[in-house]
């Protein structure tokens, strides 16, 4: 009798969740969980394109481990009953310090691709940067979601095309352009090299087998429109309708002679804020300030370009000290938790930027996955702020993070 009573008191069954996506997300407590689900659901080549980095992937690993090396020096008894993580970036109010990074070929994770990301970002008012190599167009993206849209610019050899893309972003009311400056040539992502990975994913024997063991992705892929570079559809530069290796495409089309002199030219095309993405030294952050740039994204392209590049979080404090508020700082790379965002802001960044975190989520569960990861990061920021004793982002100061050499 006693046993039955005890059993009755502890037996609890979770209500059955009938919706498969919601069921999948219920078990995803972290970005790493979403990564694992994406790995299971996506064909290997697709997952490796998203997950992989350049060469020995030391930049990739270093971006996250540099966050892990830093511990907090939390303050207590600080009245954190109300925590407000909102901030202002480029004159715009953000609910918490995050920008959703541009990612190329977003539709390979899910057919809704960039539209799903823009809708999820818009629901909470976070900025989202559409990639030049986006698989939905500037205009299609502008038509969805309320959050601020930024346009990421790769500078093509054909400057007329760049001017045209920027003019389209302006006409569609984008709030900022983000010019990527770490891609003079394409990084060697050896997972893609080994697989002979091309975009859009080609259907060969390997892909057929892979497709058969990832039926949900394959079914979506074959039923949706072909994946193309939607911003340059039908253009001479190639829109991805013929399979290309991204390395060959980028090396043929993007301008390795880009220099600081081009900043003035970009200014003539765009009268709003300019963000330089891919700044990796204090010296270049200072140059950005001297060129009147509004924000720098400290970034090594998620470890996808130069291997053995500095981890962005390690640059935040020295850059903040050197630029002294002249340029806003975005820390991009290795962001997997709200606590990472809190560390970056405490050290002097205005916000963080994350790409893989939502790319995994999109592969794991489509748009609901992106909502989920935004929620995980938001609640992680709030919880960490409370635990380190900061009620507002203004109270996030460098003393809250242990110095690290």
Q: Tell me whether residue 99 or residue 246 sits nearer to ligand GLV (CB atom).
A: 246
**DSSP class of residue 194?**
H
| Phi, psi for 226 (deg, rounded to 5) | -55, 145
Give CA angle at 364 (360, 365), nearest 5°. Answer: 120
Q: Give the count of residues interacting with ligand GLV (CB under 6 A).
A: 5
Q: Tell me whether residue 178 or residue 388 sits nearer to ligand GLV (CB atom).
A: 178
Name the minimum Å distance from CB 246 to ligand GLV: 6
- Do 401 and 320 meet the contact criterion of CB atoms below 8 Å apart? no
Helix axes 44-51 and 356-388, enclosed angle (nearest 10): 50
Nearest residue by C-beta to ligand GLV?
Answer: 104
Q: For residue 153, list its beta bridge partners.
A: 179
Q: Tell me whether residue 64 or residue 299 sits nearer to ligand GLV (CB atom).
A: 299
Active site residue 214: no
Helix axes 215-223 and 205-213, enclosed angle (nearest 10): 110
Q: According to the binding rule CB under 6 A, does residue 304 interact with ligand GLV?
A: yes
**Which residues ranging from 91 to 150 are in contact with ligand GLV (CB under 6 A)?**
104, 133
Check 110, 136, 301, 372 and give the catalytic one. 301
Name the minimum Å distance from CB 175 to ligand GLV: 21
Name the minimum Å distance from CB 392 to ligand GLV: 34
Name the minimum Å distance from CB 23 to ligand GLV: 31
Q: For 293-306, give the DSSP string.
A: -SEEEEESGGGTSS
Q: Tell me whether residue 136 or residue 301 sits nearer to ligand GLV (CB atom).
A: 301
Q: Tell me whether residue 67 or residue 249 sits nearer to ligand GLV (CB atom).
A: 249
The secondary element (H helix, E strand) that includes residue 274 is: strand 274-279
Name the minimum Å distance from CB 323 to ligand GLV: 26
- Do 80 and 109 meet the contact criterion of CB atoms below 8 Å apart? no
User: Residue 84: helix, strand or coil by DSSP?
Assistant: strand
**Which residues ranging from 240 to 269 are in contact with ligand GLV (CB under 6 A)?**
246
- The catalytic residue positions are 301
Q: Could you list the residues that contact ligand GLV (CB under 6 A)?
A: 104, 133, 246, 301, 304
């Amino acid at each position: 009798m006693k046993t039955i009573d005890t059993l009755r008191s502890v037996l609890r069954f979770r209500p059955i969740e009938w919706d498969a996506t919601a069921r999948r997300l219920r078990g995803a407590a972290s970005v790493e969980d979403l990564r694992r689900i994406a790995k299971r659901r996506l064909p290997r080549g697709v997952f490796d394109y998203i997950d992989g980095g350049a060469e020995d992937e030391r930049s990739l690993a270093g971006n996250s481990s540099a966050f892990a090396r830093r511990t907090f020096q939390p303050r207590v008894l600080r009245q954190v009953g109300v925590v407000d993580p909102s901030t202002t970036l480029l004159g715009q109010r953000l609910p918490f310090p995050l920008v959703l990074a541009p990612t190329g070929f977003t539709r390979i994770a899910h057919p809704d691709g960039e539209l799903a990301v823009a809708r999820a970002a818009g629901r909470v008012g976070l900025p989202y940067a559409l990639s030049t190599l986006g698989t939905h167009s500037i205009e299609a993206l502008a038509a969805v979601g309320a959050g601020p849209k930024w346009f990421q610019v790769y500078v093509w050899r054909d400057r007329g095309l760049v001017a045209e893309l920027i003019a389209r972003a302006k006409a569609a009311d984008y709030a900022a352009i983000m010019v990527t400056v770490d891609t003079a040539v394409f990084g060697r992502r050896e997972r893609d090299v080994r697989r002979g990975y091309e975009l859009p994913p080609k259907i060969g024997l390997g892909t057929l087998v892979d497709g058969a063991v990832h039926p949900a992705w394959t079914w979506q892929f074959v039923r949706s429109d072909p994946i193309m570079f939607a911003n340059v559809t039908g253009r001479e530069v190639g829109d991805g309708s013929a399979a290309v290796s991204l390395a060959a495409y980028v090396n043929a089309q993007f301008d390795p002679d880009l220099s600081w002199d081009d900043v003035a030219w970009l200014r003539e095309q765009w009268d709003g804020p300019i963000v330089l993405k891919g700044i990796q030294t204090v010296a270049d952050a200072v140059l950005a300030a001297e060129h009147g740039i509004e924000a720098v994204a400290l970034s090594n392209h998620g470890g996808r370009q130069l291997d053995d590049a500095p981890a962005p979080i390690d640059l935040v404090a020295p850059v903040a000290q050197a630029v002294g508020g002249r340029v806003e700082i975005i820390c991009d790379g290795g962001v997997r938790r709200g606590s990472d965002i809190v560390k970056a802001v405490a050290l002097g960044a205005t916000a963080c930027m994350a790409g893989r975190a939502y790319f995994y989520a999109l592969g794991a569960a489509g748009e609901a996955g992106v909502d989920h990861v935004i929620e995980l990061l938001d609640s992680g920021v709030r919880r960490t702020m409370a635990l380190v004793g900061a009620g507002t982002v203004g109270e996030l100061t460098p003393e809250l993070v242990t110095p690290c050499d």
